[in-house]
């Protein structure tokens, strides 16, 4: 027989850790963006345009990663809550708890 084991609190902590990592990633990106914007503003060549195009691609990738991290955190959190609710329901209805 297959055994299912989970720990709701650990899963909720994992969701929080994912969100904290997401926040740190955003903070680091903001710091880097602030620094780079100062450098880009000083460029007077075609390199500025080329860089801006690449930066737009990086910005898009960053936004996708942030969306994915939030989706993972939410899935972990929702799964933990759902499993705990199902466990409580089974305990109450199937096993007389």
- Higher pLDDT among residues 13 and 94, named by residue: 13
This prediction's pTM? 0.82
Under a CB-based contact definition with an 8 Å cutoff, are residues 18 and 83 in contact?
A: no
Which tokens in the block code for residue 77?
């959190």
pLDDT tens figures, 31-42: 999 999 988 888
Output the CA torsion 17→22→26→29 (10° steps). 100
* 3-state SS track over the chain: CCCCCCCHHHHHHHHHHHHHHHHHHHHHHHHHHHHHHHHHHHCCCHHHHHHHHHHHHHHHHHHHHHHHHHHHHHHHHHHHHHHHHHHHHHHHHCCCC
List the chain domain ranges.
Answer: 20-73
d(CA 2, CA 90): 17
pLDDT in tens, 6-52: 899 999 999 999 999 999 999 999 999 999 998 888 888 888 888 98
């Amino acid at each position: 027989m297959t055994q299912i084991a989970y720990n709701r609190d650990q899963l909720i902590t994992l969701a929080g850790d994912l969100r904290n990592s997401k926040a740190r990633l955003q903070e680091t990106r903001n710091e880097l963006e602030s620094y780079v914007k100062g450098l880009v503003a000083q460029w007077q060549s075609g390199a500025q345009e080329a860089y801006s195009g690449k930066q737009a691609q990086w910005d898009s990738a960053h936004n996708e990663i942030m969306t994915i991290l939030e989706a993972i955190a939410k899935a972990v959190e929702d799964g933990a809550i759902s499993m705990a609710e199902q466990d409580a329901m089974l305990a109450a209805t199937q096993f007389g708890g």
